[in-house]
Protein backbone atom coordinates (compact mmCIF):
# COMPACT_ATOMS: atom_id res chain seq x y z
CA UNK A 1 0.00 0.00 0.00
CA UNK A 2 2.74 2.37 1.05
CA UNK A 3 4.25 1.93 -2.43
CA UNK A 4 1.25 3.61 -4.01
CA UNK A 5 1.56 6.74 -1.90
CA UNK A 6 3.93 9.34 -3.36
CA UNK A 7 7.05 9.60 -1.23
CA UNK A 8 9.89 12.13 -1.32
CA UNK A 9 12.93 11.15 0.73
CA UNK A 10 15.37 13.80 1.92
CA UNK A 11 18.45 12.37 3.60
CA UNK A 12 21.68 13.94 4.72
CA UNK A 13 23.90 14.73 7.70
CA UNK A 14 23.00 16.94 10.68
CA UNK A 15 22.53 20.58 9.80
CA UNK A 16 22.42 20.03 6.05
CA UNK A 17 19.08 21.83 5.99
CA UNK A 18 17.05 18.69 5.28
CA UNK A 19 14.64 19.27 8.19
CA UNK A 20 13.79 22.79 7.05
CA UNK A 21 13.59 21.78 3.39
CA UNK A 22 11.39 18.76 4.20
CA UNK A 23 8.98 20.84 6.27
CA UNK A 24 8.71 23.55 3.60
CA UNK A 25 8.14 20.97 0.85
CA UNK A 26 5.54 19.09 2.96
CA UNK A 27 3.74 22.36 3.80
CA UNK A 28 3.74 23.43 0.16
CA UNK A 29 2.31 20.10 -1.04
CA UNK A 30 0.00 19.56 1.94
CA UNK A 31 1.70 16.18 2.54
CA UNK A 32 2.62 14.34 5.73
CA UNK A 33 6.11 14.86 7.07
CA UNK A 34 8.20 12.25 8.87
CA UNK A 35 11.03 13.59 11.02
CA UNK A 36 12.68 10.21 11.57
CA UNK A 37 15.53 11.74 13.59
CA UNK A 38 12.93 12.70 16.23
CA UNK A 39 12.13 9.01 16.70
CA UNK A 40 15.79 8.14 17.34
CA UNK A 41 16.06 11.18 19.61
CA UNK A 42 13.00 9.94 21.56
CA UNK A 43 14.55 6.50 22.02
CA UNK A 44 17.85 8.04 23.17
CA UNK A 45 16.06 10.40 25.51
CA UNK A 46 13.82 7.67 26.96
CA UNK A 47 16.89 5.45 27.47
CA UNK A 48 18.95 8.10 29.23
CA UNK A 49 16.08 9.33 31.40
CA UNK A 50 15.45 5.78 32.65
CA UNK A 51 19.19 5.16 33.16
CA UNK A 52 19.12 2.34 30.64
CA UNK A 53 22.37 0.60 29.67
CA UNK A 54 23.52 2.01 26.30
CA UNK A 55 25.68 -1.10 25.95
CA UNK A 56 22.63 -3.37 26.04
CA UNK A 57 20.97 -3.43 22.62
CA UNK A 58 18.07 -5.62 23.77
CA UNK A 59 17.18 -3.24 26.56
CA UNK A 60 17.32 -0.22 24.23
CA UNK A 61 15.29 -1.91 21.49
CA UNK A 62 12.64 -2.87 24.06
CA UNK A 63 12.40 0.83 24.90
CA UNK A 64 12.08 1.64 21.17
CA UNK A 65 9.28 -0.93 20.75
CA UNK A 66 7.32 0.40 23.72
CA UNK A 67 7.57 4.17 23.30
CA UNK A 68 4.34 6.01 24.06
CA UNK A 69 4.56 9.02 21.78
CA UNK A 70 1.98 11.61 20.72
CA UNK A 71 2.60 14.31 18.12
CA UNK A 72 0.21 17.06 19.12
CA UNK A 73 0.01 20.45 17.36
CA UNK A 74 3.77 20.72 16.86
CA UNK A 75 4.60 19.36 20.33
CA UNK A 76 6.05 15.91 21.05
CA UNK A 77 4.75 14.09 24.11
CA UNK A 78 6.55 11.10 25.58
CA UNK A 79 4.30 9.17 27.98
CA UNK A 80 2.31 12.39 28.31
CA UNK A 81 5.30 14.67 29.09
CA UNK A 82 6.27 17.44 26.65
CA UNK A 83 9.82 16.61 25.47
CA UNK A 84 9.80 18.76 22.30
CA UNK A 85 12.79 20.88 23.36
CA UNK A 86 14.48 18.25 25.55
CA UNK A 87 15.10 15.95 22.57
CA UNK A 88 16.76 18.77 20.59
CA UNK A 89 19.80 19.26 22.82
CA UNK A 90 23.23 18.14 21.60
CA UNK A 91 23.32 15.49 24.33
CA UNK A 92 20.02 14.10 23.06
CA UNK A 93 21.44 14.17 19.51
CA UNK A 94 24.47 12.17 20.59
CA UNK A 95 22.34 9.65 22.47
CA UNK A 96 20.15 9.37 19.36
CA UNK A 97 23.19 8.65 17.23
CA UNK A 98 24.30 5.91 19.67
CA UNK A 99 20.95 4.10 19.69
CA UNK A 100 20.65 4.61 15.92
CA UNK A 101 23.73 2.43 15.43
CA UNK A 102 21.87 -0.57 16.92
CA UNK A 103 20.21 -2.79 14.26
CA UNK A 104 17.51 -3.97 16.70
CA UNK A 105 16.50 -0.36 17.41
CA UNK A 106 16.35 0.44 13.69
CA UNK A 107 14.22 -2.68 13.14
CA UNK A 108 11.88 -1.67 15.98
CA UNK A 109 11.27 1.72 14.32
CA UNK A 110 10.84 0.47 10.75
CA UNK A 111 7.09 -0.22 10.59
CA UNK A 112 6.32 2.90 12.58
CA UNK A 113 8.18 4.99 10.00
CA UNK A 114 6.59 3.22 7.01
CA UNK A 115 3.18 3.85 8.50
CA UNK A 116 3.67 7.56 7.78
CA UNK A 117 3.27 6.89 4.04
CA UNK A 118 -0.33 7.98 3.80
CA UNK A 119 -2.35 9.83 1.22
CA UNK A 120 -1.90 12.42 -0.24
CA UNK A 121 1.87 11.87 0.15
CA UNK A 122 4.88 11.85 2.44
CA UNK A 123 8.08 13.83 2.77
CA UNK A 124 10.49 11.70 4.82
CA UNK A 125 13.52 13.33 6.44
CA UNK A 126 16.41 11.25 7.79
CA UNK A 127 19.57 9.33 7.00
CA UNK A 128 18.26 6.10 5.44
CA UNK A 129 14.87 7.14 4.08
CA UNK A 130 15.91 6.56 0.46
CA UNK A 131 18.08 3.48 1.08
CA UNK A 132 16.19 1.43 3.68
CA UNK A 133 12.85 2.78 4.85
CA UNK A 134 11.38 3.90 1.49
CA UNK A 135 13.66 2.30 -1.12
CA UNK A 136 10.96 2.56 -3.82
CA UNK A 137 10.29 6.29 -3.29
CA UNK A 138 9.96 8.10 -6.62
CA UNK A 139 11.87 11.21 -5.54
CA UNK A 140 15.06 10.97 -3.49
CA UNK A 141 17.41 13.74 -2.45
CA UNK A 142 20.62 13.74 -0.43
CA UNK A 143 21.55 17.13 1.04
CA UNK A 144 25.00 18.11 2.18
CA UNK A 145 26.64 21.32 3.38
CA UNK A 146 30.12 22.14 4.65
CA UNK A 147 30.81 21.25 8.31
CA UNK A 148 31.31 24.97 9.17
CA UNK A 149 28.01 25.94 7.58
CA UNK A 150 26.19 23.10 9.37
CA UNK A 151 27.64 24.03 12.74
CA UNK A 152 26.65 27.68 12.17
CA UNK A 153 23.07 26.67 11.36
CA UNK A 154 22.80 24.44 14.43
CA UNK A 155 24.26 27.23 16.56
CA UNK A 156 21.64 29.67 15.28
CA UNK A 157 18.80 27.15 15.82
CA UNK A 158 19.83 26.45 19.41
CA UNK A 159 20.25 30.15 20.22
CA UNK A 160 16.82 30.92 18.77
CA UNK A 161 15.36 28.30 21.08
CA UNK A 162 17.20 29.82 24.04
CA UNK A 163 19.31 26.66 24.43
CA UNK A 164 23.04 26.74 25.31
CA UNK A 165 25.41 26.56 22.31
CA UNK A 166 29.14 26.71 21.64
CA UNK A 167 30.27 26.87 18.01
CA UNK A 168 33.60 25.02 18.38
CA UNK A 169 32.01 22.25 20.45
CA UNK A 170 29.14 22.02 17.96
CA UNK A 171 31.51 21.61 15.00
CA UNK A 172 33.40 18.84 16.81
CA UNK A 173 30.16 17.11 17.85
CA UNK A 174 28.68 17.32 14.37
CA UNK A 175 31.83 15.79 12.86
CA UNK A 176 31.91 13.03 15.50
CA UNK A 177 28.22 12.21 15.01
CA UNK A 178 28.53 12.21 11.21
CA UNK A 179 31.52 9.89 11.39
CA UNK A 180 29.52 7.46 13.56
CA UNK A 181 26.42 7.72 11.31
CA UNK A 182 28.51 7.15 8.15
CA UNK A 183 30.62 4.27 9.45
CA UNK A 184 27.98 2.14 11.20
CA UNK A 185 27.04 -1.10 9.50
CA UNK A 186 23.26 -0.77 10.06
CA UNK A 187 21.79 1.65 7.48
CA UNK A 188 24.79 4.01 7.31
CA UNK A 189 24.44 7.60 6.17
CA UNK A 190 25.02 7.18 2.42
CA UNK A 191 23.10 8.53 -0.57
CA UNK A 192 20.79 6.05 -2.30
CA UNK A 193 22.12 5.12 -5.75
CA UNK A 194 19.17 6.96 -7.31
CA UNK A 195 19.27 10.04 -5.02
CA UNK A 196 19.98 13.51 -6.37
CA UNK A 197 22.79 15.07 -4.32
CA UNK A 198 22.66 18.79 -3.55
CA UNK A 199 25.09 20.97 -1.60
CA UNK A 200 22.95 23.52 0.26
CA UNK A 201 25.98 25.62 1.30
CA UNK A 202 26.09 27.16 -2.14
CA UNK A 203 22.43 27.12 -3.14
CA UNK A 204 20.59 28.14 0.02
CA UNK A 205 17.41 26.62 1.40
CA UNK A 206 14.88 28.37 -0.88
CA UNK A 207 16.64 27.22 -4.02
CA UNK A 208 16.84 23.63 -2.70
CA UNK A 209 13.10 23.68 -1.96
CA UNK A 210 12.44 24.91 -5.49
CA UNK A 211 14.53 22.07 -6.96
CA UNK A 212 12.78 19.42 -4.82
CA UNK A 213 9.33 20.74 -5.75
CA UNK A 214 10.25 20.81 -9.43
CA UNK A 215 11.40 17.19 -9.30
CA UNK A 216 8.30 16.17 -7.32
CA UNK A 217 6.16 17.83 -9.96
CA UNK A 218 8.00 16.03 -12.78
CA UNK A 219 7.65 12.60 -11.12
CA UNK A 220 4.32 12.87 -9.35
CA UNK A 221 2.55 15.33 -11.64
CA UNK A 222 -0.75 13.54 -11.29
CA UNK A 223 -0.58 13.59 -7.51
CA UNK A 224 0.05 17.35 -7.20
O1 LIG B 1 18.36 14.35 12.16
P2 LIG B 1 18.65 14.30 13.65
O3 LIG B 1 19.88 15.12 14.00
O4 LIG B 1 17.48 14.68 14.47
O5 LIG B 1 19.01 12.78 13.98
C6 LIG B 1 19.45 12.39 15.25
C7 LIG B 1 20.30 11.13 15.13
O8 LIG B 1 19.48 10.03 14.73
C9 LIG B 1 21.44 11.21 14.11
O10 LIG B 1 22.70 11.24 14.74
C11 LIG B 1 21.36 9.97 13.31
C12 LIG B 1 20.13 9.27 13.74
N13 LIG B 1 19.21 9.02 12.64
C14 LIG B 1 19.35 7.84 11.94
O15 LIG B 1 20.26 7.07 12.23
N16 LIG B 1 18.48 7.53 10.96
C17 LIG B 1 17.50 8.36 10.63
N18 LIG B 1 16.65 8.04 9.66
C19 LIG B 1 17.35 9.60 11.32
C20 LIG B 1 18.24 9.90 12.31
Does residue 210 lie in a domain region?
A: yes
Does residue 74 lie in a domain region?
A: yes
Model confidence at 65: pLDDT above 90: yes
Does residue 62 lie in a domain region?
A: yes
Number of domains composing the chain: 1
**Could you identify the atom of ligand 1 that is nearest to the CA of residue 38?**
4
Q: What is the CATH number of the domain that holds 198?
A: 3.40.50.300
Does residue 224 lie in a domain region?
A: no
> Ligand 1, atom 12: nearest CA belongs to which residue?
97
The parent domain of residue 143 ranges over 2-218
> Ligand 1, atom 9: nearest CA belongs to which residue?
97
127 lines ligand 1 (CB under 6 A): yes
Model confidence at 2: pLDDT above 90: no
- Its sign, for the CA torsion 145, 12, 188, 66, is positive
Distance between CA 26 and CA 35 in Å, rounded? Answer: 11
**Residue 95's Cα: distance from chain center in Å?**
14
Q: What is the reported pTM?
A: 0.90
Read off the pLDDT band of 124 (50, 70, 90). very high
Side-chain-side CA neighbours of residue 101 (13 Å): 17
Go through 15-39 and write b for each residue having 16 or more CB atoms within 10 A of its CB, e for each that does not: bbbbbbbbbbbbeebebbbbbbbbb
Ligand 1 center–CA 36 separation, angstroms: 7
Residue 187 has what pLDDT?
Answer: 81
**Could you identify the atom of ligand 1 that is nearest to the CA of residue 14?**
3
The partner residues of 8 in beta bridges, in order of sequence, read 123, 139
Ligand 1 center–CA 38 separation, angstroms: 7
**Could you identify the atom of ligand 1 that is nearest to the CA of residue 180?**
10
Does residue 152 lie in a domain region?
A: yes
Average of per-residue pLDDT across 108-128: 96
Distance between CA 114 and CA 94 in Å, rounded? Answer: 24
Does residue 98 lie in a domain region?
A: yes
Model confidence at 83: pLDDT above 80: yes
Does residue 7 lie in a domain region?
A: yes
93 lines ligand 1 (CB under 6 A): yes
> Ligand 1, atom 5: nearest CA belongs to which residue?
37
* pLDDT tens per residue across span 139-164: 999 999 988 889 998 899 889 988 88
Angstrom CA distances, 208 to 21, 38, 71, 133, 182, stand at 7, 22, 27, 23, 23
Does residue 14 lie in a domain region?
A: yes
Alpha helices in 66-136 (DSSP H): 90-100, 103-114
Amino acid sequence: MADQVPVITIDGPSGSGKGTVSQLVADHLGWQMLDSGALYRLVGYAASSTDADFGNENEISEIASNLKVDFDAGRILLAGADVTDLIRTETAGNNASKVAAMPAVRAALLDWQRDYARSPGLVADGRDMGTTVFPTAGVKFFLTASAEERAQRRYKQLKEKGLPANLAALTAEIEERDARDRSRTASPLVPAADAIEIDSTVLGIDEVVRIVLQKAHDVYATAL
